[in-house]
Structure 1
Amino acid sequence: MSTRNFDLIVLGVGMAAVNAANKCASAGWSVAVVDALPYGGTCALRGCDPKKMLRRGAEIIDAARLMHGKGIEPNDIAINWPDLVAFTQTFTDKMPGRIEN
């Protein structure tokens, strides 16, 4: 078994960890990144970004209804949940590979 030394070992691959690893690596440090979960962290893969897309769909419906009778006619506006969920997945599907690279 071989041993290797690093200037920095980053635990986790969330946005903060990736930023720290990138800054140190850019400064010439040898950096190792360790995480049992997929690259990207909670926010990108399961939290912030997908949630923002779902919330935005609901906000659009709400805003249109609030403007009813004020120049906006929201009669046929609706959320197609399967399409909206599929759209949220376009933000996360390729995230681990992109961040890892």
Structure 2
Amino acid sequence: MKICHIAEAAGVSVIPHAGMNTPYAQHACYAMPGIPLGEFFVGSDPGIPLNEATGTQEFYGMSVPIDGDLVPTDGKGFGIELTLDDIEKWVS
């Protein structure tokens, strides 16, 4: 956050490396001044939509780019959807 405020005061933009790869980072990037672009890296085989690619399913409900645009979710909080199975996977 400090870097974004320093950059804003200097009239410089910030583009965080992989800054859109988690729902938490997405919200931070939307909220911070001086972030005109966000990097979202995920690979998928040709013809496989990004939202079905390995890596995006870690956070169910997380926004993924569509035609280069990333729109915040309208869900509560970070907009992710967890089940008890998801939680058990992480605490086991």
* TM-score scaled by length of structure 2: 0.34
Asked which structure has the greater CA Rg, the reply is 1
Q: Which has the higher strand share?
A: 1
Please identify which structure carries the higher helix content: 1
Per the normalisation by structure 1, the TM-score is 0.32
